[in-house]
Structure 1
Amino acid sequence: MSCAPVRHVDDRERRARLARRHAVHPSHRVQDTVAATRAMTVLHATEAATVHLAVHARTEGTGPADVDRALYEERSVVKQLAMRRTLFVFPRDLLPAALGSASARVAAEQRRVIARDVEAQAVADDGAAWLEAAGGAVLRHLAERGPLPARQLREDLPELAGTTTYGLGKSYGGTAPLAPRVLTWLGAQGLVVRGANSGHWRLSRPTWTLTTDWLGGAVEPLPAEEGYAELVRRWLRTFGPGTVEDVQWWLGSTKTAARAALSAVGAVPVGLDGGSTGWLLPDDVDPVADVEPWAALLPTLDPTTMGWRGREFYLDPALTTYLFDTNGNAGTTAWWGGRLVGAWVQDEDGAVRVVLAPGADPGAEARAALEVEARRLTRWLDGVRISNVYSSQLMKGAALP
């Protein structure tokens, strides 16, 4: 990899790239769920509502039913556990890359950890054999019965019996069934997939389905190096420029794998504000023009907010504790001109209200634009109230009774 920067990309240009590439600027919104997913490479899906809200923020006239149609009828986008053991929504054509690289890494780690815990908790003497038997039972049962929720699988299959304890001596400690972890392992391998959702779109109530049934055939994983390279190619198109550390963090990989992927796609270095080196695709080094000021309200764990490890170009470090939890997970966010300025919450009737972070008042024009977005989101939600597992300090402090 070359080390001499081809030019400098300042923070202002990085924010302009974000506005255009991420479809968050009102004049750059895209057509539908698939286009919104492609714009972001993938969408975060840890919280079910994030998928629908992230699509809404990047489209006009795309309702929850349209997102559900893409997920569960057309199946043009698919939920898959991948980078950092996180659930994402992928465009279908990106699945082979993920399954051969990031997902495979998660599957290998889950196999090791589950087998270890099975033995440590005396569920079985041979944890690896127990896991293979449990996974095989799930696959055979789904082949015979068709899609089933996790609870039904647990009731039907004695092979899934067993619990593990966690957090010994801690306030958050307890016991947890092993069955969901088996499903996680199978999903990371691409053998099963979260199929139709049996609950409201804001909730995760998946029926587990054989991937071959859901997608009409097996998905052939790419070799790991090719898979990582394709993921990084898409990531750079969406998030570039980014540092090696950004790529490594987003992939959940080793730094060696991140560097190899950047080299494989021919990434070229650029200077960044603060003195670090970022990387761009070789056909994407031309300067990007600035955009008019813009406002956006993004959901918890939105892929824009969670796209980089280094966030200083869009986040004042003094606001981090208000908008992110101690693990770096973002709650809802309010944006003005490519910078984070606050969060949003809802009242009892579902109306959206913007809450500015302390010291982050961006002025009257910004407040008015954010209010327009709040009204737009309120209309779209139509009285539906969103619950958030990952609520930031600012959201909790502004929570309405």
Structure 2
Amino acid sequence: MPAALTSARLRLARMHAQLLAGPPAAGVVGAVRGAAALQAQDMKASKLGVRARTSGLALADVRRAVTEERSVIRTWAMRGTLHMIPTADAGWIVDLFGPVVLPRFRRRRIDLGLDDDLCDRAVDALPDLFASGRPRTRAEIVAGLRESGVAVPANGQAPFHLLLFAALRGVVCRGPDTDNGNPTYVLLRDWAGAWEPRDTDAALAKLVRRHVSGYGPVCPEDFAAWSGLPARHVRRAWELVSPTLAEVATESGSAWALRELADVFPAPRPRPAVRLLGPYDGYLLGYKERAWALPAHSVRRILPGGGAIHPAVLVDGEVVARWRWRGDGVFIEPFAPLSEDTMAGIAAEVEDVGRFLGIRATMDVAVG
């Protein structure tokens, strides 16, 4: 086995795998597929995730991909959370995660007044509510179901959990948000078309290869943390693809990469690779541990608790600062003094975020 990858080269390799350095992705779909999906409970964050992995795209391009081309959709998948995925992958991803995630929320549904019979009747009634093809808000769906005789509780978290159930059954997915940011829903088959059922082994193999390609080098524990799949699924997935993987030694132990990529890890360059990551970026969600990318003394500034992940400044794969909007500009909070080259890279990124959003973004940096 070749000499172990240093921590610096491992970070850079993973940055390249996530399309955050090196050649940019070809369009919105390329960014989403190359990153193995983008976290999307925050739509603005997923749009920033596309920006960081492409070159020259604007916010309108992402909107067009979601609402007109329908080439990417948002639905619940890995870890039972909302993700942006290629529309072409929707069927097999939902078929894989639905049977895994739905039982986890059954007790919560029952506590909310959504027993199994009520959920099944609601799912059966949903297609008629979308006969016009128009996206519908959560309130409209609940009202329509109640009018059709399915007494869905209208308050609290019951409507959300019902639609989560329907999404994981492959009936609905998220549609375009309204102008004021409220979520809408559409029939998945209207947007993704019909799909042929894929057996579990085929889906597992495809998913784990997508993860290794988009996050590698990785280990099975990373795939388990990213996917949220049970241990038996993780073991089976790794067995299925192990002949196509190559073991890579790192300073913290063994990891694996696609065999065809295992000997081409990038070396550090004279000028740093800098990216501004939005909140909940996949780069910080694809691994069991984050210490290789996020210094221990700065963890709470990016991961304050409660599942939140703040926007981060990434330099050669390491998180070196936090950023946030302040007024019309970007406020940078470095964890330690940064070099002139790094500050120049950050300034270029701030300018590109503004270009992407169609605004003129200024930059301010915390002192001390």
Tell me the residue number matched to 2:314: 335
Post-superposition offset of 1:345: 1.3
In 2, distance between residues paired with 1:272 and 1:251?
A: 23
Q: What is the Cα deviation at residue 41 of structure 1?
A: 1.3
| Residue 228 of structure 1: aligned partner | 204
Indicate conservation of the 8 Å contact 2:7/2:251, yes or no.
Answer: yes
In structure 1, the residue matched to 2:279 is 300
Partner AA of 2:234 in structure 1: A
Determine the C-alpha separation between the residues in 2 that align with 1:52 and 1:211.
Answer: 21
CA contact (8 A) 1:44 1:301 kept: yes
1:283 aligns with 2:260: yes
Change (3 A) 1:384 1:309: farther
Could you tell me the TM-score, scaled by structure 2's length? 0.88
Measure how far apart 1:318 and its partner are.
1.8
- Structure 1 match to 2:82: 87
**Cα distance change of structure 1 residues 63 and 258 upon mapping to structure 2, 3 Å threshold:** same
SS in 1 for 2:261: coil
1:226/1:140 CA distance change after superposition, 3 Å:
same
Compute the displacement of 1:224 (Å).
2.3
Deviations 1:220-255 (A, max 9, x none): 342223212211101101111112211101010122
Structure-2 separation of matches of 1:199 and 1:253: 35
Which secondary structure does the structure 1 equivalent of 2:333 belong to?
Answer: strand
Q: Identity over aligned residues, as a percent?
A: 24
Q: 1:46 and 2:37 equivalent? A: no
Counterpart in the other structure of 2:116: 128
Q: Is 1:149 matched up with 2:137?
A: yes
Moved more, 88-97 or 237-246: 88-97
Tell me if 1:186 matches 2:177: no
Partner Cα distance (1:98, 1:7) in 2: 37
Trace 1:361-372 onto structure 2 (pairs within 5 A). Answer: 361-372=337-348
Partner SS, residue 62 of structure 2:
helix
- Pairing 1:305-320 to 2, within 5 Å after superposition: 305-320=284-299
Structure 1: 5+ residue stretches without partners? 164-174, 386-397
Q: What is the Cα deviation at residue 6 of structure 1? A: 7.3
Structure 1 pair 131–284 and aligned structure 2 pair: CA distance change class (3 A): same
| Number of residues of Structure 1 aligned to a counterpart in Structure 2 | 355
> In structure 2, how many angstroms separate the alpha carbons of the residues matched to 1:303 and 1:145?
32
CA distance in 2, matches of 1:384, 1:227: 44
Structure 2 CA distance, aligned partners of 1:271 and 1:188? 38
Contact 1:99 1:221 in 2 (8 A): no
Aligned pairs (5 A) from 1:56-95? 56-95=51-90
Residue 23 (structure 1) aligned with residue 3 (structure 2): no
Amino acid in the other structure paired with 1:117: D
Secondary structure at the counterpart of residue 197 of structure 1? coil
1:234-273 equivalence runs, <5 A: 234-266=210-242, 267-273=245-251
Deviation per residue, 1:10-42 (Å, 9 max, x gap)? 3222222223222222x5223321121122011
Shift of 1:113: 2.7
Unmatched runs of 5 consecutive residues or more in structure 2: none
TM-score (norm 1): 0.81
Give RMSD over aligned pairs: 2.4
Give the Cα separation in 2 of the matches to 1:237 and 1:370. Answer: 27
Contact 2:13 2:217 in 1 (8 A): no
Change (3 A) 1:282 1:376: closer
